[in-house]
Amino acid sequence: MIITNDLIKTALSLIELTAREILLSEGTTWGPRWVEGFISAPGVSGAIPFKFGKVTEWNNEWGKRRFTSSEIALKKLDLAERFGDDTSSIIEACPWVLEEGEFLYAGGISRFGINVGVSGAKGRVDEAIANLLVDCIIMLAHLETDARIARHEMQI
């Protein structure tokens, strides 16, 4: 396989600093300064969890906590994976396809079988972080493919 758990770990480490800086920037969050997320892709089993930012105790000024960021991120991942599209696009074009328990939130990305769901910041920020991850995974997968071609290892 081209995408492996190690490749995913590398992608996570490459964008971690950028994600943290985004979460510290004015106007990117509605309270918490961290996000939680999940990645699924061909070649990896199950959804791989991750967190970016500084996790703190819940502040009641942010509102009553009804769901955890990880629960919402997993729902975003599932929706993006099910339709092969970004959750913001699905919500804009056909919100009636959402099933009971799903959310009208941006933050899920699906591209070429690589799926990421992120939750905890503002929806557009969640989606940007998810896009960064997908782009990084694709970049690393292309680099791995180029290296295999250079070694004449053409069969998967």
Mean of all residue pLDDT scores within the chain? 95
- Indicate if the pLDDT at residue 76 is higher than 90: yes
Q: What is the separation, in whole angstroms, between the first and last Cα of the chain? A: 6
- CATH superfamily membership of 5-150: Haem-degrading domain (3.30.450.150)
pLDDT for 115 equals 98
N residues, the chain: 156
CA separation, residue 37 to residues 87, 96, 129 (Å): 14, 24, 10
- Cβ atoms within 10 Å of 71's Cβ, excluding its own: 14
Return the DSSP state at 60: G
Span 81-120, pLDDT tens digits: 999 999 999 999 999 999 999 999 999 999 999 999 999 9
Where do the structural domains in the chain lie, given as residue ranges?
Answer: 5-150
